[in-house]
Structure 1
Amino acid sequence: MRIIVSGGGTGGHIYPAIAIADELKRLRPDTRFLFVGAAGRMEMEKVPKAGYEIKGLWISGLQRKLTLDNLSFPFKVIHSLWTSRKIIKAFKPDVVVGTGGYAGGPVLYAAAKMGVPTLIQEPNAFAGLANKWLGKHMDKICVAFPGMEKFFPKEALVETGNPVREEMLERVRSSAEAALAPDSSANLGVNRSADESALSSRLGRRANILLMGGSGGARSMNEALRDSTRILGARPQVQWTWQCGTAYYEAFKDCASAQLPNVTISAFIDDMEQAYAKADVVIGRAGSTTIAEIQFLGKPTILVPSPWVAEDHQTMNARALTERDAAVLVADKDLTEKLVPTVYELLDDEARRKELGQNARAMAQTGAVTRIANEVLNLISSSQKSAN
């Protein structure tokens, strides 16, 4: 088989695309893959690292403000459609799969118009404009939430859940369970009234907080940690892993909070397996991939929906968890005041952490990546039967 996969711009598009390709390769080892992304975006680096070939299109998003870049947008679309047709003609894919990102629109639309089977994966509770427009041209649309017929043709919908790197996450769960001390039901050693050093020594580990602002970083989350030096330093046994984003690393790496011995700052975390495994509490945006991963892991999580995304879909994603008591929500505007105190409240309440983790795990749609891969294979099979 020959499959084109398009997913890029952010980790939330790239890693689901890679997960789907990995699962298809597991099911059909002889499959050849070609990724199509946006030139200059992070997929051009991350996809080859995962072992796949990728070609870049000259494409970018339409800016919400009036900018010079918007003047070139129509030309980029026309050029990308033309390039996509050339790629499809040369590669001759059996199917084109999209998980979002700037490049997905041109290549999926071109494939649909050329009669190539197409499938998109919509991860959010509120579909974005590009996928809503593409949906009417697609053969199959895999979604993670019920009620998505308000955005897409009902006959094309299948509820699969969001794809995650399940093999990696399963290793994380096993590592975390093995690392727990025999008396792990005790407090993590962060109770203000206790001797934190003694308790951490007894447990054989420190409490660990993982803050990740997404592949691009989140300015407001970074500013909240920058402005919390005193409170972070007051509890030195609480270790912070701070992923600030490549765009923000230079601005925050030398701040007082980043210099604390219990804080480790980095632009990007390549080894998410280790980061997740040691995390007692996770802090992240409410993107679909983050949510799917913390559900799979059953990690107590503080979600901070981005106020800058289309249709405020991250708040809707977060509410799907908070309404089931499976996560804690802190609004972006309240970060400086509430984020670190909320973390400490969770660390001091073992029963609450356990409840959040169990409720999150109960919502996990395990096997989503296999369901999506099977939809891809079924689409190819149906297409071949129709051709014959």
Structure 2
Amino acid sequence: MDNYKFILSGGGTGGHIYPAIAIANELKKRYPNAEFLFVGAKDRMEMEKVPEAGYKIEGLWITGLQRKLTLKNLMFPFKLISSLLRARKIVSQFKPNAVIGTGGFASGPLLKIASGRKVPCLLQEQNSYAGVTNKLLKDAVAKICVAYDGMEKFFPAHKIVKTGNPVREDLIALTGNKKEALSFFELQENKQTLVVLGGSLGARRINKLIEKKIGFFKEAGLQIIWQCGKLYFEEYKKYNSDTVKVMAFINKMNYAYASADVIISRAGAGSVSELSIVGKPVVFIPSPNVAEDHQTKNAMALVNNNAAILVKEKDLDADFDTVFSGLIASKEKQEEISKNIKNMALPNATKDIVDQIEILLKK
């Protein structure tokens, strides 16, 4: 039988949406006649990104609880009841053979209802610190695919399978020719290249750091590919030059990675997984404005294995120059970090997750 029906639920951020799409694409390869339905939160980015990837999506009226007492919190019980009723209707009508949750508020009501109907459910947790929704669902699901060791503190050990996080297929087959990549960005072959990644929207603190350090990087003989994010492009495009390439968004990420000698990046789960596969030395500057400071915890999983460098935002002024100069000056250190970060990569994550879904289908 390959006319299975799958519901995938997750969203709110790209970190939850893109893994769900990658899993759906792999399932589609194995079961060309399968039917797919995504369930997300109304008004969040999944309502746009999932149809762009060619899949149908239904939206639930759900948001998370705010930390402060707000009107949104007063609405939460009504939204939760509405979402549970809507999820019940979706599961009854679609009749899925399996349900996959990748985190985010919408996956809560949907997996709760589906598991209550004895539909096999699988969770995929991207971070080293489990999200609230996934922690609440741990008893309801059959399997939990994780990307880090030590997740027994959040989930039942017998349900955990370490698979890694799904990443874009073009990265796994990263065959970027460095010469060709540098030529694409109109950069020189005889200089070291720094690639700066603040995410698609950008990261204000990283952008401010790069702006302040342009002279410092120049003195170190570096050229820069700087993804400042679409929110900040107008502010920073004035720094474009022969040695500094400022971009709102990098479409050819394989070229950016092939060009890089050193990378500065946030430490979202997807970025950490991608950069492990890329295998270049990375300085992580985690965002402190995320739940449970999980970006720092993601980065520390690599730092503890001498596979990356971490500088906290609050320490940038005091520590950045010393830490960065030490990395740029030492080819040995760069090679050591590259080797160690590559050893932490899990490039078969998507296939391994779908293998687990197949096991559930056969039970």
Quick check: 1:373 aligned with 2:358? Answer: no
For each residue in 1:282-308, what CA deviation from the matched residue of structure 2 results, as whole angstroms up to 9, or x when unmatched?
A: 222222211111111112111112222
Aligned mates of 2:46, 2:228 — CA distance in 1: 19
Compared CA separation, residues 273 and 316, structure 1 to 2 (3 A): same
Equivalence for 1:297: 278
Compared CA separation, residues 274 and 81, structure 1 to 2 (3 A): farther
Which of 102, 119, 124 is 1:121 aligned to? 124
Compared CA separation, residues 74 and 31, structure 1 to 2 (3 A): same
- The question of whether the paired residues in 2 share the 8 Å contact of 1:227 and 1:257 is answered with no
Compared CA separation, residues 42 and 340, structure 1 to 2 (3 A): farther
TM-aligned CA deviation for residue 142 of structure 1:
1.0
Could you list the runs of 5+ residues in structure 1 that have no partner in the other structure? Answer: 182-196, 383-388
For each residue in 1:329-362, what CA deviation from the matched residue of structure 2 results, as whole angstroms up to 9, or x when unmatched?
A: 1111123554466445434433322221111101
Equivalence for 2:204: 219
SS in structure 2 at match of 1:22: helix
SS in structure 2 at match of 1:253: helix
Aligned amino acid, residue 332 of structure 1: E
**Aligned ranges 1:255-270 → 2 under 5 Å:** 255=236, 258-260=239-241, 262-270=243-251
Compared CA separation, residues 7 and 264, structure 1 to 2 (3 A): farther
Equivalence for 1:241: 226
Equivalence for 1:95: 98
TM-aligned CA deviation for residue 179 of structure 1:
4.9
- The question of whether the paired residues in 1 share the 8 Å contact of 2:181 and 2:256 is answered with no
Equivalence for 1:139: 142
Aligned CA-pair RMSD: 2.7
Which of 313, 337, 340 is 1:359 aligned to? 340
TM-aligned CA deviation for residue 257 of structure 1:
6.2
Equivalence for 1:18: 21
SS in structure 2 at match of 1:35: strand
Aligned amino acid, residue 275 of structure 1: A
TM-aligned CA deviation for residue 150 of structure 1:
2.0
- The question of whether the paired residues in 2 share the 8 Å contact of 1:34 and 1:53 is answered with yes
- The question of whether the paired residues in 2 share the 8 Å contact of 1:225 and 1:336 is answered with no
Aligned mates of 1:268, 1:63 — CA distance in 2: 30
Which of 5, 8, 27 is 1:5 aligned to? 8
- The question of whether the paired residues in 2 share the 8 Å contact of 1:122 and 1:142 is answered with yes
Quick check: 1:286 aligned with 2:267? Answer: yes
Aligned mates of 1:169, 1:92 — CA distance in 2: 35
TM-aligned CA deviation for residue 218 of structure 1:
2.5
Equivalence for 1:189: none
Compared CA separation, residues 77 and 216, structure 1 to 2 (3 A): farther
Aligned mates of 1:121, 1:256 — CA distance in 2: 38
Quick check: 1:153 aligned with 2:156? Answer: yes
Aligned amino acid, residue 119 of structure 1: L
Which of 306, 315, 329 is 1:325 aligned to? 306
Equivalence for 1:192: none
**Aligned ranges 1:98-109 → 2 under 5 Å:** 98-109=101-112
- The question of whether the paired residues in 2 share the 8 Å contact of 1:117 and 1:379 is answered with yes
- The question of whether the paired residues in 2 share the 8 Å contact of 1:281 and 1:343 is answered with no
TM-aligned CA deviation for residue 233 of structure 1:
5.8
TM-score between the two structures when normalised by the length of structure 1: 0.83
Aligned mates of 2:60, 2:97 — CA distance in 1: 20
SS in structure 1 at match of 2:235: coil
Compared CA separation, residues 236 and 257, structure 1 to 2 (3 A): farther
Could you list the runs of 5+ residues in structure 2 that have no partner in the other structure? Answer: none
TM-aligned CA deviation for residue 99 of structure 1:
1.0
- The question of whether the paired residues in 2 share the 8 Å contact of 1:57 and 1:80 is answered with yes
TM-score between the two structures when normalised by the length of structure 2: 0.88
Equivalence for 1:272: 253
SS in structure 2 at match of 1:289: helix
Which of 314, 337, 341 is 2:295 aligned to? 314
Which of 31, 38, 56 is 1:53 aligned to? 56
Aligned amino acid, residue 137 of structure 2: L
